[in-house]
């Protein structure tokens, strides 16, 4: 008997859908496909092509049929509310709950320098990310690490969790959720354009983590020069500090191979890749010839 409906979008949703068809194609009642015109590839075409290939009914969001209250809904990368019994709605969240409930958890974990990243499978709840925990999968990481590298690692955590859950449903095993420890809960706050700005008063290590955490597919870390230019910094490295008689934060102290070294609140940061941003787009900011530049 089919007992699962998938509400999915993005590459993560496609990969879970593919894995579900490999485990038990007959388990899937139908697939609801989300679309997003703001991304280069929302994987809706790939999801629809797979549904057609394996003969599973699919619907674009908003045209889906009513779901059975006894039917599990597996939601992957879904951005909209799903009305369904909470003990039948399965959601995946990119953190080790109850830590980092909310928005952009993976980005914020990297900025904070967490030693582990992970994914939690939870049942639905009336408030976001507070549902009972079904299972978790985590990975120990080392720094430096870019957001794209972390996304790839966490996608594997998601796939392992989804595989385990789909296998249990296929084998008629009961999914059991346990309450989260509310005393340990933290929240990851939504980010806006201001959160991409570099604060040079922070340590070189903290700034390096920010640059790595908000790079592609995100907008990238940015700063202003004292002359009013906007610069996106795509790649940097921490270098050995020197003793400054007066620590003028944000000033370029050395240039090595055209790459400026900037004074931070503590430590020095060498900028390896940067772009000047204006209304016409971006152009290479490096190599730099004069070190009389201050970033603010």
Number of domains in the chain: 2
Domain extent, residue 235, equals: 193-284
Domain check: are 115 and 244 in the same one? no
Tell me the average pLDDT of the chain.
95
Which of 188, 206, 224 delimits the end of a domain?
188
Domain check: are 184 and 206 in the same one? no
pLDDT at res. 40? 76
Domain annotation covers residue 180:
yes
Q: Name the region of 113 (left: φ>0; alpha: ψ -120 to 50; beta: rest).
A: left
Domain check: are 61 and 134 in the same one? yes
pLDDT at 2 over 70: no
Domain check: are 251 and 105 in the same one? no
| Claim: this prediction has a pTM higher than 0.85 | yes
Which of 155, 188, 221 delimits the end of a domain?
188
How far apart are alpha carbons 245 and 178 in whole angstroms? 56
Domain check: are 253 and 229 in the same one? yes
Domain check: are 163 and 211 in the same one? no
Domain check: are 82 and 211 in the same one? no
**Which sign, positive or negative, has the C-alpha torsion 108, 112, 118, 124?**
negative
Name the percent of the chain lying above pLDDT 90.
89
**DSSP for 90-158, written as a single string:** EEEESSSTTTTEES-HHHHHHHHT-SEEEEEEEE--SSTT-SPEEEEEEEE--SS--HHHHHHHHHHHH
3-state secondary structure of 241: coil
Please, which pLDDT band fits residue 41 given cuts at 50, 70 and 90? confident
pLDDT at 217 over 90: no
Please, which pLDDT band fits residue 83 given cuts at 50, 70 and 90? confident
Domain check: are 180 and 48 in the same one? yes
SS (H, E, C) 11-60: HHHHHHHHHHHHHHHHHEEEEEECCCCCCCCCCHHHHHHHHHHHCCCEEE
Domain annotation covers residue 279:
yes
Please, which pLDDT band fits residue 1 given cuts at 50, 70 and 90? low
Please, which pLDDT band fits residue 92 given cuts at 50, 70 and 90? very high
Domain annotation covers residue 290:
no
Residue-wise burial string across 26-42, b where 16 or more C-beta atoms lie within 10 A, e elsewhere: ebbbbbbbbeeeeeeeb
pLDDT at res. 37? 80
pLDDT at res. 30? 96
Domain annotation covers residue 114:
yes
Domain check: are 226 and 247 in the same one? yes
Domain check: are 221 and 166 in the same one? no
Domain check: are 43 and 183 in the same one? yes
Q: Tell me the average pLDDT across 86-95.
A: 95
CATH at 247: 3.10.25.10
Domain annotation covers residue 296:
no
pLDDT at res. 69? 85
Domain check: are 143 and 242 in the same one? no
Which of 137, 155, 188 delimits the end of a domain?
188
Domain annotation covers residue 23:
yes
CATH at 152: 3.40.50.170
Domain annotation covers residue 292:
no
Spatial neighbors of 240 by CB under 8 A, at least 6 apart, are: 268
Domain annotation covers residue 293:
no
Please, which pLDDT band fits residue 68 given cuts at 50, 70 and 90? confident
Q: What is the pLDDT of residues 169-207, one digit of tens each?
A: 999 999 999 999 999 999 999 999 999 999 999 999 999
């Amino acid at each position: 008997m089919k007992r699962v409906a998938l509400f999915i979008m993005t590459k993560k949703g496609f990969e879970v859908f593919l894995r579900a068809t490999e485990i038990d194609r007959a388990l899937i009642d139908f697939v609801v496909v989300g679309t997003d015109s703001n991304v280069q590839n929302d994987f809706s075409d790939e999801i629809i092509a797979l549904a057609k290939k394996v003969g599973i009914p699919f619907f674009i969001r908003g045209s889906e049929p009513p779901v059975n209250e006894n039917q599990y809904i597996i939601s992957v990368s879904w951005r909209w509310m799903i009305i369904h019994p909470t003990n039948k709605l399965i959601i995946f969240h990119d953190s080790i709950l109850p830590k980092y409930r909310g928005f952009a958890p993976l980005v914020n974990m990297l900025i904070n320098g967490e030693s582990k990243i992970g994914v939690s499978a939870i049942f639905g709840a009336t408030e976001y990310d507070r549902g009972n925990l079904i299972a978790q999968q985590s990975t120990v990481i080392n720094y430096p690490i870019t957001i794209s590298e972390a996304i790839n690692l966490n996608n594997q955590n998601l796939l392992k969790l989804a595989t385990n859950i789909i296998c249990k449903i296929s084998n008629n095993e009961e999914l059991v959720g346990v309450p989260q420890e509310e005393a340990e809960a933290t929240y990851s706050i939504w980010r806006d354009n201001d959160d991409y700005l570099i604060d040079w008063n922070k340590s070189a290590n903290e700034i390096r983590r920010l640059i790595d955490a908000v790079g592609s597919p995100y907008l990238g870390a940015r700063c202003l020069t004292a002359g009013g230019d906007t610069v996106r910094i795509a790649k940097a490295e921490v270098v050995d500090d020197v003793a400054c008689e007066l620590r003028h934060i944000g000033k370029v102290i050395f240039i090595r191979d055209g790459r400026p070294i900037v004074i931070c609140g503590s430590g020095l940061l060498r900028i390896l890749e940067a772009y000047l941003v204006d209304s016409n787009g971006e152009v290479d900011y490096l190599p730099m010839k004069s070190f009389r530049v201050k970033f603010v």
